């Protein structure tokens, strides 16, 4: 089966080849003809990584009228990253067509710039729900000529709490606008959306309904021993020096802390979580995409919409709250027919949860044996000097807090803290040296760059 077979025109075929995409995926085989040859609304359910974006962007590009400068398609997405990605696919696929302009608009960046951009001819708007409503209220765009409204990753939008915004947008659209809904699951509220807003003439497509989880993913678990979780993780990463992956934490604090604990370790790491501003997020993602960073430590929310090619593994440093979350997390590996592994860190009680996931998702887990290189030897303490003191508003407690917060240490590992006016020093086990230097290098406080040095005794030994 080729893209021509399912009705995709020559210009688009050309662009697909240019992007090294040759065979349509199952969801594309079913959704593209349904969009091109009928006028029905559409519900398409397929797991993540199956190519849903192209399943709507190709037929939309093919049916849009580039000569009209009106907005003809609106794509709602849960996150700004996904919005940028979807707009990018529209851009890539329209390479050999007459000019079709897609604009992504999302929160977290100045709205005025987006209002300016929307003044230019725009055919497709890709938007997060909240920002779209803002823009509509400011009359920055008109949906009067809309032909298509696409709800992409509808389940994610609902689980992120966008239900009322989606209601508002759907209500403000003319009834004749064609609605296409794409989702990985059709649970409760997504089903409600379908019943409430899609026409009775709806085509429903489901791919691999029972095989919720991508079958190319190898699901594994590691039972970590009390107190050895970080060592186990490091040992696992050491076995995969050239591979890239995402590690999931449940909270922002855990993500930030773990990335600090791994700083200076052989894998380059960075954390991505909701507290980062847009610029910092993009910097991290760029580093990851161009392989300066091998491991992304992320929270579930921050990881939504991240599409990086060729991910080798996903690590659940803590199991997610529910099975849908497991599917979403694991979907980050084994994209587009490639294989990948999804490793869960659990303790003995976690076996129950693994069994539960096996039953609910119809998958098999295997235990992953790894040789844990333990770090339980006794390390001598070293003394680290720092060029900051009471003049920079440090005292003993603040210095400890600072080291816990910024260098990822445990308070109990920091001893003999002495803070003077312009400098301070403290003792820590030697094994933290690299971690501390890696985290604090380049740090600024009260306009002063942090400088760290080891005591003379240590320095000599280092030589
Ligand atoms: P989903 O929305 O279902 O999670 P995406 O649309 O994000 O999946 O696609 C996942 C990846 O697969 C993207 O990198 C995309 O470029 C790629 N892809 C899409 N369609 C194909 C195809 N027919 N062949 C190969 N790769 C594809
Ligand atoms: Mg998608």
Residue 52 CB less than 6 A away from ligand 1: yes
The verdict on the CB of residue 47 being under 6 Å from ligand 1 is no
- Within 13 Å and on the Cβ side, how many CA atoms surround 194? 24
Instruction: Say which DSSP state 411 is in.
Output: G
Instruction: Say how many Å lie between the CA of residue 78 and the centre of ligand 2.
Output: 10
249 lines ligand 1 (CB under 6 A): no
Is residue 294 a part of any domain in this protein? yes
User: Distance of alpha carbon 157 from its chain centroid, rounded?
Assistant: 14
25 close to ligand 1 (CB < 6 Angstrom): yes
Q: For ligand 1, say whether the CB of 332 is within 6 Å of any of its atoms.
A: no
Q: What counts of helices (H) and strands (E) characterise the chain?
A: 18, 20
Do residue 233 and residue 122 come from a single domain? no
Establish whether residue 431 lines the binding site of ligand 1, counting it when its CB lies within 6 angstroms of any ligand atom.
Answer: no
Ligand 1 atom nearest the C-alpha of 331 is: 4
Q: What is the pLDDT of residue 277?
A: 75
Atom 2 of ligand 1: nearest residue by CA position:
52
Distance, CA 51 to ligand 1 centroid (Å)? 3
Same domain, 38 and 183: yes
Q: How far is the CA of 154 from the centre of ligand 2 (A)?
A: 9
Which is the closest atom of ligand 1 to the Cα of 47? 3
Query: Does the beta carbon of 57 sit less than 6 angstroms from any atom of ligand 1?
Result: no
CA 101 remoteness from chain centre = 26
Q: Which atom of ligand 1 is nearest to the CA of 46?
A: 3
Q: Note down the domain range covering 400.
A: 381-454
Summarised one tens digit per residue, pLDDT across range 303-339 is 765 666 568 899 999 999 888 888 888 878 876 667 7
Q: Tell me: do 116 and 160 sit in the same domain.
A: yes
The reply to whether 373 falls in a domain is no
Do both 176 and 41 map to the same domain? yes
Give me the residues of the chain with pLDDT under 50, please: 210-212, 458-463
**CATH for 443:** 3.30.70.330
Give residues with Cβ within 8 angstroms of 275, minimum separation 6.
252, 256
420 found inside a domain: yes
Please say whether the beta carbons of 409 and 403 come within 8 A: yes
Which of 339, 367, 395 marks a domain boundary?
Answer: 367
For ligand 1, atom 19, name the residue with the nearest CA: 51
Q: How far is the CA of 52 from the centre of ligand 2 (A)?
A: 5
Model pLDDT, residue 284: 80
Please identify, among 176, 206, 236, the residue that sits at the C-terminal boundary of a domain.
Answer: 206
Token pair 């295997």 is found at 366
Which stretches within 269-387 are classed as H helix? 278-289, 300-303, 323-330, 350-361
> Are residue 179 and residue 71 in the same domain, yes or no?
yes
Boundary residue ending a domain (307, 341, 367): 367
Q: Are residues 15 and 92 in contact, defined by beta-carbon separation less than 8 angstroms? A: yes
> Are residues 42 and 81 part of one domain?
yes
Where do the DSSP E strands lie in 167-238? 178-183, 202-206, 217-223
- CATH no. for residue 50? 3.40.50.300
Q: Residue 381: what pLDDT?
A: 84
Q: Give a yes or no: residue 295 inside a domain.
A: yes
Is 426 among the domain residues?
A: yes
Question: What is the C-alpha separation between 344 and 323, in angstroms, rounded?
Answer: 13
In a domain, 376, yes or no: no
pLDDT of residue 463: 34
**Ligand 1, atom 5, residue with closest C-alpha:** 51
On whether both 36 and 160 belong to a single domain, the answer is yes
Query: For residues 450 and 386, is the Cβ–Cβ distance under 8 A?
Result: yes
Q: What is the total count of domains within the chain? A: 3
Do 327 and 443 share a domain, yes or no?
no
Q: How far is the CA of 331 from the centre of ligand 1 (A)?
A: 12
Same-domain check for residues 415 and 306:
no
d(C-alpha 158, C-alpha 142), whole Å:
24
Do 333 and 439 fall into the same domain? no
Q: Are residues 282 and 159 in the same domain?
A: no
- CA–CA gap between residue 284 and residue 299 (Å, rounded): 14
- Say yes or no: 148 and 238 in one domain: no
């Amino acid at each position: 089966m080729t893209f021509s077979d399912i009705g995709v025109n020559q210009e688009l075929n050309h662009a697909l080849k240019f992007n090294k995409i040759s065979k349509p995926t199952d969801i594309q085989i079913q959704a593209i003809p349904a969009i091109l040859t009928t006028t029905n609304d559409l519900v398409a359910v397929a797991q993540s990584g199956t190519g849903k974006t192209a399943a709507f962007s190709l037929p939309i590009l093919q049916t849009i009228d580039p000569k009209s400068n009106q907005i003809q398609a609106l794509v709602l997405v849960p996150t700004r990253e996904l919005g940028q990605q979807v707009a990018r696919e529209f851009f890539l696929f329209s390479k050999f067509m007459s000019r079709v302009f897609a604009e992504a608009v999302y929160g977290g960046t100045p709205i005025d710039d987006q209002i300016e951009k929307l003044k230019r001819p725009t055919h497709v708007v890709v938007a997060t729900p909240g920002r779209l409503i803002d823009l509509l209220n400011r009359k920055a765009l008109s949906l009067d000529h809309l032909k298509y409204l696409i709800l992409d990753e509808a389940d994610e939008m609902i689980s992120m709490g966008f239900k009322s915004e989606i209601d508002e947008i759907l209500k403000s659209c003319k009834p004749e606008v064609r609605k296409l809904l794409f989702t990985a699951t059709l649970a409760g509220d997504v089903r409600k959306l379908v019943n409430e807003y899609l026409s009775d003439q709806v085509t429903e497509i489901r791919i691999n309904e029972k095989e919720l989880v991508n079958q190319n993913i190898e699901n594994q678990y590691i039972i970590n021993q009390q107190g050895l979780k970080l060592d186990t993780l490091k040992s696992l990463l050491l076995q995969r020096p050239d591979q890239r992956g995402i590690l999931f934490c449940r909270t922002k604090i855990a993500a930030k802390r773990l990335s600090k604990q791994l700083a200076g370790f052989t894998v380059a790491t960075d954390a991505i979580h909701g507290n980062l501003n847009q610029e910092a997020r993009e910097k991290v993602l760029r580093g990851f995409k161009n392989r300066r960073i091998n491991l992304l430590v992320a929270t579930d929310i921050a990881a939504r919409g991240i599409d990086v090619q060729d991910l080798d593994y996903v690590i659940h440093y803590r199991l997610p709250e529910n099975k849908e979350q497991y599917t979403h997390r694991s979907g980050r590996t084994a994209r587009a027919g490639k294989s990948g592994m999804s490793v869960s860190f659990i303790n003995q009680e976690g076996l129950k949860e693994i069994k539960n996931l096996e039953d609910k998702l119809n998958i098999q887990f295997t235990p992953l044996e790894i040789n844990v290189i333990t770090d339980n030897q006794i390390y001598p303490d070293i003394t680290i000097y720092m060029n900051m003191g009471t003049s920079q508003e440090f005292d003993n407690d603040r210095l400890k807090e600072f080291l816990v917060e910024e260098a990822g240490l445990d308070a109990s590992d920091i001893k003999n803290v002495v803070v003077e006016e312009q400098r301070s020093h403290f003792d820590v086990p030697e094994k933290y040296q690299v971690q501390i230097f890696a985290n604090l290098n380049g740090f600024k406080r009260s306009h002063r760059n942090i400088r760290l040095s080891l005591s003379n005794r240590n320095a000599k030994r280092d030589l």
